[in-house]
Amino acid sequence: MTESTEPAIVAGVDGSPSALNAARWAAHEAALRPLPLRLVHVGTTGACLGEAQEQAQAAEPGVRIHTRLRTGAAAASLIDEAETARLMVLGSRGLGGFPGMLLGSVSSALATHAPCPVVVVRDAPPQRGPVVVGVDASASSDAAIAFDAAARRQAPLIALHTWTWTDMTLGETWSVLPIDVDYAEVAEDERRLLAERLAGWREKFPDVDLGQRAVRDRPVRGLLAEARDAQLIVVGSRGRHAPDGMGLGSTSQALLHHSPCPVALVR
């Protein structure tokens, strides 16, 4: 069993099916970067590390893989591992989860507190389809990671911004729309502002096939609709109006519980 503290893609494993899916997904991501993959198990025995390493190596034979066995509290140990991670990858639910539970406590804790981006994987993830990013007024970091992910995968990128009749979230301030508002004009403003938000990233990633969608819908419903055909969805960990120090926003929580494809959370 080997250890390394160099920057790496880190995957937490515990022998559960979703953790093995996460290990394979992390191996693919490590190959795309390229970076080494570090598999971490928190427990007293490291048997599951061998299985995870075998499956990750089979998925990407060329990736350099390190393993690490740690003791202590799982969430705290993995948050510590995230300090040297470029990306932390986890299964949606570990072996200790209750039947029917959609998101495990460790995955939820890492998504809330890890200092690096966190990807949560549930089922065997698709290798095709677009990357989707949810865009709001605070989406700079989200967009950077989404453009980079799409470029590495040579996949199209869908940038989705949702708006409702009662608020305009891309403006500098939140405002209630007057009752006699021209909604066609509002929709055009939302499309224009979305394009402005993405203009700099389009220049940096000119080869990415970008689709821009500003739709009148709630964020969760709009993003889950796009996630059906996506290979990855990228969102911020907190909503625009969430107070400082607050944990996961309602949109990111809902995606972690219900998205059929891997979800990347960016703090």
**20 lies in the same domain as 84:** yes
* Final residue belonging to a domain, choices 65, 96, 121: 121
C-alpha closest to that of 161 among 142, 182, 183, 180: 142
- Euclidean distance between CA atoms 233 and 130, whole angstroms: 9
**112 lies in the same domain as 176:** no
Cut 0.75: pTM above it: yes
The whole-number pLDDT of residue 248 equals: 62
Sorted by sequence, the CB contacts under 8 Å of residue 173 that are 6+ apart come out as none
Q: Do the domain assignments include residue 146?
A: yes
**135 lies in the same domain as 106:** no
**107 lies in the same domain as 138:** no
The whole-number pLDDT of residue 104 equals: 62
**138 lies in the same domain as 259:** yes
The whole-number pLDDT of residue 125 equals: 84
State the total domains in the chain: 2
Number of H helices and E strands in the chain, helices first, is 8, 10
Encoding tokens for residue 201?
Answer: 């990233």
Residue span of the structural domain in which 82 resides: 8-121
Which DSSP symbol is given to 228? T
The whole-number pLDDT of residue 85 equals: 95
Half-sphere exposure of 51 (CA within 13 A, CB side): 15
Q: Do the domain assignments include residue 33?
A: yes
Which DSSP symbol is given to 164? B
Q: What angle do CA 73, 59, 225 make, to 5 degrees?
A: 75
Sorted by sequence, the CB contacts under 8 Å of residue 111 that are 6+ apart come out as 118, 120, 237, 248, 252, 256, 265
The whole-number pLDDT of residue 122 equals: 83
* Final residue belonging to a domain, choices 94, 121, 148: 121
**96 lies in the same domain as 117:** yes
Q: Do the domain assignments include residue 233?
A: yes
**198 lies in the same domain as 242:** yes
Q: Do the domain assignments include residue 1?
A: no
Element (H, E) at 42: strand 37-42
**111 lies in the same domain as 153:** no
Residue 128's CB: how many other CB atoms inside 10 A?
9
**13 lies in the same domain as 60:** yes
Q: Do the domain assignments include residue 126?
A: no
From first to last of its 267 residues, the chain has per-residue pLDDT tens of: 445 567 899 999 998 898 999 999 999 999 999 999 999 999 888 899 999 999 999 999 999 999 999 999 988 999 999 999 999 999 886 544 433 334 567 777 888 889 999 999 988 888 899 999 998 765 567 889 999 999 999 999 999 998 876 555 444 444 555 556 677 888 888 899 899 889 999 999 999 999 999 998 888 999 999 999 999 999 987 555 444 444 567 888 889 888 999 999 987
**110 lies in the same domain as 153:** no
* Final residue belonging to a domain, choices 59, 92, 121: 121
Q: Which residues of 81-111 are buried (b: 16+ CB within 10 A; e: fewer)?
A: bbeebebbbbbbbbeebeeeeebbebbbbbb
**116 lies in the same domain as 163:** no
**247 lies in the same domain as 178:** yes
The whole-number pLDDT of residue 95 equals: 46
CATH number at residue 208: 3.40.50.12370
CATH number at residue 40: 3.40.50.620
